[in-house]
Amino acid sequence: MIREARDDDWPGIWPIIHDVVTEQRTFPYDPEMTEPAARRMWLLPPPARVVVAVDGERVTGTANMYANRPGPGSHIASGSLMVAKEARGTGVGRALTTDLIGWARRSGFAAIQFNAVVEVNVAAVRLYESLGFVTLGTAPGAFRHPDEGDVGLRIMWLDLR
């Protein structure tokens, strides 16, 4: 089940973010990010939206979504999603991405742009492609992967018009 995040979800969200940023495999975020900094980065105020995937009381994933750029760029949406390690491969990422697409459509955005999808993040690339996203281009070697060396960052795009 996907629902809007509440303040008291934070203790369930933070371990997911902490895992992802310390792994350094999927997001170009500072691995030393503190909990308060993560909270400010993730729990964006409206008109952005933050959701959690829950299995009973347990937070199994989270996404945030927002206008990709201000002013003349504000008709394009963007967002980020993270699934708890133990819940990956069970449909949580698909549910979060579908929710994000629904929100972007309802809000009148013209497209969704993911700015930096690590090209060897097979789960993310396959998931987004299966929902209609295409890769517009790749910044070569822009991400320092712990196992695979310098790999590209894809810009992925879903047209909603």
Residues in the site for ligand COA, rule: CB under 6 A? 20, 26, 81-83, 88-94, 114, 117, 121-124, 126-127, 130
Least distance (Å) between residue 133 CB and ligand COA: 10
Q: Decide whether 62 or 109 has the Cβ nearer to ligand COA.
A: 62
- Please say whether the beta carbons of 62 and 19 come within 8 A: no
> Which residue has the CB atom at the shortest distance from ligand COA?
93
Least distance (Å) between residue 27 CB and ligand COA: 6
Q: Decide whether 10 or 80 has the Cβ nearer to ligand COA.
A: 80
Longest dimension (CA), the chain: 41
Q: Decide whether 74 or 130 has the Cβ nearer to ligand COA.
A: 130
Q: Decide whether 123 or 136 has the Cβ nearer to ligand COA.
A: 123
Token pair 């690590």 is at which residue? 118
Q: 151: Cβ–Cβ under 8 A, 6 or more apart, which residues?
A: 118, 119, 120, 141, 143, 145
Least distance (Å) between residue 130 CB and ligand COA: 5
Least distance (Å) between residue 86 CB and ligand COA: 11
DSSP 47-106: TSEEEEEEETTEEEEEEEEEESSSGGGTTEEEEEEEE-GGGTTTTHHHHHHHHHHHHHHH
